[in-house]
């Protein structure tokens, strides 16, 4: 079902040795536990059902972009859209994962267009469909695990690596789950 794992790793923090000194196999080994964790979460029936439910709404791209603008312009206020996305049962499940695992900074879930289904904590925008973490993992419907670069994340205000795992239902990629892994975990401060 998973065809390959794509790795894009950039060295962006002084003192943290990753891409230049480690082979792809070593990087994969370093993140292997969290990759398995993301894949496992992506098969959770509640998560799959939530994605399928939103996909069933067949949101127009114009509506997704309108929601994205609303989300980005909320100015930290808890709008109905943000509340519905960050306080639904799947988001509450994500919250427990983040609060009980110091290695995880965030978890969010998208539909087949990259629109948020659930998130904890709130993402910096609603639409992920124009971002590499989503496009590479969704992979035109041929879902793959994608490991993004080590970078500072605006929504969590932390440096992390995002692991994107496809949500699969009946052998079809229907969405993407993104797990933000803390730089502390990568430095061995698990």
Per-residue pLDDT in tens (0 to 9) along the chain, 190 residues: 444 555 444 433 333 444 445 555 666 677 889 999 999 999 999 999 999 999 999 999 999 999 999 999 998 889 999 999 999 999 999 999 999 998 999 999 999 999 999 999 999 999 999 999 999 999 999 999 999 888 888 888 888 889 999 999 999 999 999 999 987 776 665 4
Residue 173, in any domain of the structure: yes
Residue 115, in any domain of the structure: yes
Q: 171 φ, ψ to 5°?
A: 60, 20
CATH code of residue 47? 3.30.450.20
The number of distinct structural domains making up the chain is: 1
| Euclidean distance between CA atoms 27 and 150, whole angstroms | 12
Domain containing 84: what range?
5-57+72-186
Q: Give the ranges where the chain is alpha helix by DSSP (H).
A: 24-42, 45-56, 61-72, 80-86, 89-99, 132-138, 183-186
Residue 128, in any domain of the structure: yes
């Amino acid at each position: 079902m998973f065809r390959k794992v794509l790795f894009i790793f950039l060295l962006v923090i002084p003192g943290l040795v990753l891409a230049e000194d480690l082979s792809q196999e070593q990087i994969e080994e370093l993140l292997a536990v969290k990759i398995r964790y993301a894949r496992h979460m992506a098969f959770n029936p509640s998560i799959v059902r939530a994605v399928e439910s939103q996909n069933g709404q067949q949101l127009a791209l114009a509506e997704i972009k309108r929601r994205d603008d609303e989300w980005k312009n909320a100015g930290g206020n808890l709008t109905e859209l943000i509340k519905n996305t960050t306080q639904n049962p799947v988001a509450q499940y994500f919250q427990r994962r983040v609060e009980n695992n110091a290695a995880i900074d965030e978890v969010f879930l998208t539909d087949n267009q990259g629109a948020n289904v659930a998130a904890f904590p709130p993402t910096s925008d609603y639409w992920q469909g124009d971002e590499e973490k989503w496009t590479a993992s969704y992979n035109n419907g041929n879902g793959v695990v994608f490991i993004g670069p080590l970078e500072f994340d605006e929504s969590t205000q932390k440096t992390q690596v995002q692991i994107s795992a496809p949500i699969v239902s009946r052998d079809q990629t229907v969405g993407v789950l993104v797990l933000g892994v803390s730089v502390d975990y990568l430095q061995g401060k698990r």
